[in-house]
Amino acid sequence: MPRGYFITFEGLDGSGKTTQLRRLAAWLEAEGHRVVTLRQPGGTVLGDRIRSILLDSRSETTLGPIAPLAEMSLMFADRAQSIHEIILPALESGAIVLCDRYTDSSEAYQGAGRQLGSERILTMHRAVCDDLQPDLTLLLLPSIEASLRRARGRNKRRMQQKGPDENRFEREDDDFYRRIYRAYEEIAEREPQRVVPLREDASIEQIEERIHEIVSARIPAPVI
């Protein structure tokens, strides 16, 4: 049985989860914990290749339209690799693992956004991820409008700087994001022990403070 602690961050694009993940990692390290961070898709060599296929809006010019089930399967191929290469070894060594997105993203984006249904995603999770569940999921749920404004603004800046194109999902319409938002709310209702929703449109510092409270209530300080 793994000895570490597994925390995932979830939310819409632009919900602020990546900033909060970085801040939590720094805080936990300062408290003396050993922390391993990663994001999905990506984080392994195979995963980074899968990420560029799935996120680059130019992929469809070279590959043709990606079928929703192919998209889902690639997300799980990425996840299986990072569980094997990073997550399980880190948990077995007693580290705290912070993962930017995990299976809840597949349930929200592919299950609800692409309308493949939750059941198919959960079945896939059991088969491919050996049902490895996070101990805690921090679900950042500021309003859809605030999230999308941030995500789309960020993409425009990236395009102007000619950085990597990671726009494939962010071109979707508002209904796609409304379905995702609703799916996240349903996951939080279904699994209140694991999933803690943070709904406030509050400042980065206020949300960070709240995350410290939630995490310190669950993880005892390390014995140094």
Cβ atoms within 10 Å of 160's Cβ, excluding its own:
8
Torsion of CA 190, 193, 199, 200, to 10 degrees: 170
Report d(CA 115, CA 180) in Å as an integer: 10
Q: Which is nearer to ligand TYD, 100 or 181 (CB)?
A: 100
Chosen residue from 10, 13, 87, 188 binding ligand TYD by CB under 6 A: 13
Report d(CA 4, CA 111) in Å as an integer: 29
∠ CA 138-139-141, rounded to 5°: 145
Under rule CB under 6 A, residue 33 binds ligand TYD: no
| Residues contacting 172, CB < 8 A, separation 6+ | 113
Report d(CA 6, CA 215) in Å as an integer: 11
Under rule CB under 6 A, residue 151 binds ligand TYD: yes
Minimum gap (Å) between residue 94 Cβ and ligand TYD: 25
Under rule CB under 6 A, residue 20 binds ligand TYD: no
Under rule CB under 6 A, residue 24 binds ligand TYD: no
| Residues contacting 174, CB < 8 A, separation 6+ | 144, 148
Which of the 8 DSSP states describes residue 114?
S
DSSP 68-92: HHHHHHHHHHHHHHHIIIIIHHHHH
User: Tokens at residue 139, please?
Assistant: 């679900």
Span from 38-46, 191-199, 206-214, 215-223 in contact with ligand TYD (CB under 6 A): 38-46
Q: Which is nearer to ligand TYD, 199 or 218 (CB)?
A: 199
Binders of ligand TYD in range 70-109 (CB under 6 A): 75, 100-101, 105-106, 109
Q: Which is nearer to ligand TYD, 13 or 183 (CB)?
A: 13
Minimum gap (Å) between residue 100 Cβ and ligand TYD: 5
Minimum gap (Å) between residue 181 Cβ and ligand TYD: 13
Under rule CB under 6 A, residue 111 binds ligand TYD: no
Report d(CA 83, CA 41) in Å as an integer: 12
Under rule CB under 6 A, residue 46 binds ligand TYD: no
Report d(CA 89, CA 95) in Å as an integer: 9
Q: Which is nearer to ligand TYD, 39 or 179 (CB)?
A: 39
Minimum gap (Å) between residue 195 Cβ and ligand TYD: 16
Under rule CB under 6 A, residue 10 binds ligand TYD: no
Residue numbers of the site for ligand TYD (CB under 6 A)?
A: 13, 18, 39-41, 55, 75, 100-101, 105-106, 109-110, 151, 169
